[in-house]
């Protein structure tokens, strides 16, 4: 994809309302990693939301078990466009602090 096409797609993503739709859908997952009974929600968030999104952008995704047995796995996405290009590392997290469940 050319730079111009990428910029155009990004502008359409925002102006067409898709960004807000994506954001609303993602924050609706109550991904409280400090609450053991919510671990399945974080796993669902990774598998149902993030993996498909990243794969559509050309990433290969793998889930890596957490060394803490009671915790959700790590999602490690990877995308190599050209081995001659610099590597860009991005970090994100899908968990939140305990919130106000009645307002979620």
Q: Is the pLDDT of residue 70 over 80?
A: no
pTM above 0.85, yes or no: no
Give CA–CA dist 44/51, Å, rounded: 10
Burial (CB count <10 Å: 0-12, 13-18, 19+), residue 49: middle
**Are the CB atoms for 48 and 79 separated by under 8 Å?**
no
Give tens-digit pLDDT for 45-55.
Answer: 999 999 999 99
Average pLDDT, the chain: 87
Element (H, E) at 39: helix 39-44
Largest CA distance in the chain: 50
């Amino acid at each position: 994809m050319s730079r111009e096409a990428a910029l155009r797609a990004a502008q359409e993503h925002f102006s067409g309302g898709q960004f807000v739709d994506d954001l609303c859908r993602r924050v609706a997952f109550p991904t409280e990693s400090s609450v053991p009974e919510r671990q399945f929600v974080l796993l669902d968030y990774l598998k149902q939301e993030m993996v498909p999104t990243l794969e559509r952008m050309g990433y290969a995704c793998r889930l890596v078990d957490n060394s803490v047995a009671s915790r959700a796995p790590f999602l490690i996405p990877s995308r190599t466009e050209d081995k001659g290009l610099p590597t860009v590392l991005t970090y994100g997290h899908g968990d939140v602090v305990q919130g106000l469940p009645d307002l979620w």
